[in-house]
Amino acid sequence: MEDLTQEEWVEKLSNDDNAVILDVRTDAEVAEGIIPNAIHIDIYKGQEFIDEIEDLDKSKNYYVYCRSGNRSGKACQIMEQLGFENAYNLEGGMLQWTGDIVDLKT
């Protein structure tokens, strides 16, 4: 697991052909907007979260974010324990995100 600043996260992601963006926020938070092409798995779902994470392709590189960077950091640690080699936490999360957002309310 690696904590990346917003700039590092965006730069690494833009140069990664094997990238998956993972949003671990709640449904209510996601309804306010999501980073384009992100998949959503709510970390608060406990075992269901772990089951869904285990179904993911471990050969991919995961760029993980939440609201502030705390839950996504925990998600990266869980992923590491499950055998994922490349999980990158977005420091500051959506609170500091200045990139594109898809509004799901429309």
Active site residues: 66
Phi then psi dihedrals of residue 79, to 5 deg: -60, -40
Nearest-CA neighbor of 67 among 91, 36, 39? 91
Please state, in angstroms and rounded to a whole number, the distance separating the CA atoms of residues 70 and 64.
11
DSSP per-residue codes, 32-48: T-B-TT-EE--GGGTHH
